[in-house]
Amino acid sequence: MARDIKISIKNLYKIFGPNPEVGLEYVQRGMGKAELLEKQNHVLGLRDINVDIRDGEITVIMGLSGSGKSTLIRHLNRLIEPTAGQILFDGENVLSYDEADLRKLRRERMSMVFQKFALLPHKTVLENAGMTMDVRGYSTSDFEGEARKWLARVGLEGNENQYPHELSGGMQQRVGIARALVSNSPVMLMDEAFSALDPLIRSDMQDLLLELQEELKKTIVFITHDLDEALKLADHLVILKDGEVIQQGDPQEILLNPNDPYIIDFISDINRARVLRVRSIMTEPEQGNIEYAGDISEKDNLETVLSRSQGDTSLTFRVVREGEQVGTLTMKDLTRALVPTAASAERDNRAN
């Protein structure tokens, strides 16, 4: 069942420079980013962005530095004003909001988790976790119970009275996540939230986010430049280059069917067994007497199935969801899925 659209971005443009409306005219006539900078001394931030962010899903926006991903997320709560376009939140045009509406949006409807943690050094962990409630006028006694609950939920029980400088980077980011959860906002914006963390801590934070999301079903917009992270977290993946959407959709579908050389370069060295899921390559349940080697989940990655098969390519597994069969996976189909796409092979041939 399709989820409702929580945020809809329509025909969004952002031009940086002294006369953005003039720059917009050139861009709408087809001028690219490099030419706009060279000839008009304006910077193309975003060009005709159209993205629907669905309720209760993680939408990941990824791209290299300068692709426009952080610019895009800051439009959602109007930390940056667009040059043209629409941003609809539950059907309301965010661009029509006055100052009071914007304050309510930022305090109550959209929380933000930053890469640099953004904790106040003179406040305790508990006070930082409740900061969004503090700015709404609540006292510490009002939000203390909620703050303690979420701090415990992210693994920081017992650290409530410490200060940020006494915590590791991973622990500080946990405070940032707890703060977003204490606000009880339906939307969480996460701008490179895990990029400053060591790899092992980063992986732990990704697992924590997925665990919380399974329980809370927040609408999350997550910015990253890391494809592994994007494929692990995303329900819907949006890939940007030079301010434009190159491809968007189910991350598994993008991995199997990249539509642009830019994306092919991204995925060329990815561990396909680790990121591809059973649901992406399973077939309809077969009729008749099939000898199954066992049951696997549609959410399992192919690496898990490979381990189960112990290299036997003759096996067939039954794919189940909540105890019911939803598909069949043969090891031969799995092996074929691990072979790079024709586009990827063509890229490698060009390189050689």
Average the pLDDT over 240-249 and give the result. 95
Q: Is domain 55-78+97-267 in CATH 3.40.50.720, yes or no?
A: no
Q: Which of 153-157, 209-213, 270-274, 340-344 has the lowest mean pLDDT?
A: 340-344
Asked whether the predicted pLDDT for residue 274 surpasses 70, the reply is yes
Spatial distance between the Cα atoms of 22 and 3, rounded to a whole number of angstroms: 38
Asked whether the predicted pLDDT for residue 22 surpasses 80, the reply is yes
Rounded alpha-carbon distances, angstroms, from residue 275 to 62, 143, 235, 245: 16, 39, 13, 22
Asked whether the predicted pLDDT for residue 265 surpasses 90, the reply is no
| Helix, strand, coil percent values for the chain (each to nearest 5) | 45, 25, 35
Neighbouring-strand partners of residue 5 = 54
Neighbouring-strand partners of residue 328 = 283, 318
Spatial distance between the Cα atoms of 74 and 115, rounded to a whole number of angstroms: 13
Asked whether the predicted pLDDT for residue 253 surpasses 70, the reply is yes
Average pLDDT, the chain: 89
Backbone dihedral region for residue 215 (phi beyond 0: left; psi -120 to 50: alpha; all else: beta): alpha
- pLDDT score, position 334: 93
pTM of the model: 0.85
In the CATH hierarchy, which fold is given to the domain comprising 272-337?
CBS domain Like (3.90.1280)
Asked whether the predicted pLDDT for residue 352 surpasses 80, the reply is no
Asked whether the predicted pLDDT for residue 348 surpasses 70, the reply is no
Asked whether the predicted pLDDT for residue 233 surpasses 90, the reply is yes
Average the pLDDT over 265-276 and give the result. 84
Asked whether the predicted pLDDT for residue 1 surpasses 80, the reply is no
Select from 202, 268, 269 the least CA-distant residue to 233: 202
For residue 285, the tally of other CB atoms under 10 A from its CB is 13
Neighbouring-strand partners of residue 61 = 223, 238
For residue 204, the tally of other CB atoms under 10 A from its CB is 16
| Strand 187-191 relative to strand 110-113, pairing | parallel
Place of tokens 């200060």: 163
- pLDDT score, position 351: 47
Spatial distance between the Cα atoms of 184 and 141, rounded to a whole number of angstroms: 17
Spatial distance between the Cα atoms of 4 and 246, rounded to a whole number of angstroms: 24
Q: What percent of the chain has pLDDT over 70?
A: 95
- pLDDT interval class at 349 (50, 70, 90): low
For residue 311, the tally of other CB atoms under 10 A from its CB is 8
Domain boundary assignment for the chain: 55-78+97-267, 272-337
Q: Which of 40-49, 128-137, 238-247 has the lowest mean pLDDT?
A: 128-137
Select from 15, 214, 2, 9 the least CA-distant residue to 94: 9
The model's pLDDT over 68-98, given as tens digits with 9 standing for 90+, comes to 999 999 999 999 999 999 999 999 999 999 9
Asked whether the predicted pLDDT for residue 230 surpasses 60, the reply is yes
**E-only strand ranges, 17-119:** 43-54, 58-62, 84-89, 92-93, 110-113
Asked whether the predicted pLDDT for residue 350 surpasses 70, the reply is no
